[in-house]
């Protein structure tokens, strides 16, 4: 049970956690914090938060739990602003899609108080953004990865785990570096491919016709290209090393496939497609 939850960045991710915890009766009061008072008032009118606060210091000063759900590029600034106002008992966690960079920011900006920061990443979301897109079941049966620091106490880690369980999620723990590599493959690379495909077709002469004849598969495939550009810019910059490694792997794969097409190599094509289908059918039952 959380008495006072402070959500910094009341968008899809932050707003949905507030709604889920309210529905579960797991929180008494939610303070929404951010730079834009109109966005916060809107979130309040939607019943997502109970109080609006544009001063981050005030927002966190009496919080039991602080949830930071801002783009990765804004994390360091948030840590810097809240550090002087963090009470000893306050736990801070986040929703950053890459973890090593957030750990670096937190270590630098929070100083000795970094022990109060439990890095986390809910593997959930939609291509929509903003408080208006938030809903209370976003985290139901989804996974949350926590990448604990050596400085964290098991008690604090367990409080973050319990919060996510109350929101309906399953919680795993792993190292930050490992998290970043896994997510580069399953999330960051697919988003880059979807953005790139749409941008690539958008530069073809008959672009209107191309999109007119796009079928359902194309819509599914490119849905994630409607995601927030700022968020994805920051992910590419913050997890560049792992993302580039995955992109290189993928390019090698395309090169192999191109060679098979150029050489009319029916066996090689069938082998690649069969292997992929088998893998995909296997993990998405």
Site for its own copies in 202-231 (CB under 8 A): 202-204, 206-207, 209-230
Contact with its own copies (CB under 8 A) among 38, 150, 155, 262 = 262
Largest distance between two CA atoms of the chain: 67
Shortest reach from residue 157's CB to its own copies, in Å: 19
Indicate the residue among 89 and 219 with the shorter CB distance to its own copies.
219
Shortest distance (Å) from residue 5 CB to its own copies: 24
Q: d(Cα 123, Cα 236) in Å, to the nearest integer?
A: 17
Distance of CA 202 to the CA centre of its chain: 27
**Alpha carbon of 242 to those of 187, 225, 252: distances in Å?**
12, 20, 16
Could you tell me which residues come within 8 angstroms of residue 118 by beta carbon, excluding any fewer than 6 positions away? 91, 92, 93, 146, 148, 149, 152, 156, 157, 160
- Residue 250 sits in the site that holds its own copies (CB under 8 A): yes
The only residue of 44, 62, 142, 165 in contact with its own copies, by rule CB under 8 A: 142
- The whole-angstrom separation of Cα 30 and Cα 33 is 10
Structure-block tokens of residue 45: 């009118």
Judged by beta carbon, residue 45 or residue 186, the one nearer its own copies is 186
**Site residues (CB under 8 A) for its own copies, limited to 147-186:** 172, 182-183, 185-186
- Residue 35 or residue 275: which is nearer to its own copies going by CB? 275
Q: Which of residues 23-52 bind its own copies (CB under 8 A)?
A: none
The residue (of 1 and 214) whose beta carbon lies closer to its own copies is 214
Residue 76 Cβ, how far from its own copies at the closest point, in Å?
14
Stretch in the footprint of its own copies (CB under 8 A) among 4-12, 40-48, 81-89, 262-270: 262-270
In degrees rounded to 5, what are phi and psi of residue 82? -90, -20
What residues from 114 to 133 belong to the interface with its own copies (CB under 8 A)? 123-127
The answer to whether residue 141 forms part of the interface with its own copies (CB under 8 A) is no
59 binds its own copies (CB under 8 A): no
CB 119 within 8 A of CB 99: yes
State yes or no: residue 257 binds its own copies (CB under 8 A). yes
CA–CA dist 119, 55 (Å, integer) = 23
Size of interface with its own copies, in residues (CB under 8 A): 91
d(CA 280, CA 240): 26
């Amino acid at each position: 049970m959380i008495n006072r939850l402070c959500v910094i960045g009341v968008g899809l991710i932050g707003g949905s956690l507030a709604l889920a915890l309210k529905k579960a009766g797991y929180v008494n009061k939610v303070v929404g914090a951010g730079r834009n008072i109109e966005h916060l008032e809107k979130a309040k009118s939607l019943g997502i938060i109970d109080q609006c606060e544009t001063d981050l210091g005030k927002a966190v000063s009496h919080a039991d739990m602080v949830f930071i759900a801002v783009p990765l590029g804004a994390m360091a600034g948030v840590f810097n602003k809240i550090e002087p106002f963090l009470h000893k008992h306050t736990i801070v966690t986040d929703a950053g899609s890459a973890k090593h960079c957030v750990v670096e920011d937190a270590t630098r900006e929070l100083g000795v108080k970094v022990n109060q920061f439990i890095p986390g990443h809910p593997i959930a979301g939609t291509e929509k953004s903003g408080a208006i897109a938030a809903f209370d079941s976003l985290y139901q049966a989804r996974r949350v990865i926590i990448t604990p620091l050596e400085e964290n106490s098991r008690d604090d880690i367990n409080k973050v785990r319990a919060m996510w369980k109350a929101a309906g999620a399953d919680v795993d723990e792993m190292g930050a570096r490992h998290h970043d590599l896994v997510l580069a493959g399953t999330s960051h690379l697919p988003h880059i491919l979807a953005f790139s495909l749409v941008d690539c077709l958008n530069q073809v002469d008959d672009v209107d016709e191309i999109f007119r004849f796009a079928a359902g598969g194309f819509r599914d495939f490119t849905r994630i290209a409607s995601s927030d550009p700022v968020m994805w810019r920051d992910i590419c910059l913050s997890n560049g090393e792992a993302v580039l490694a995955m992109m290189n792997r993928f390019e090698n794969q395309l090169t192999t496939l191109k060679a098979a097409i150029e050489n009319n190599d029916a066996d090689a094509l069938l082998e690649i497609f069969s292997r992929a289908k088998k893998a995909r059918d296997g993990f998405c039952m």
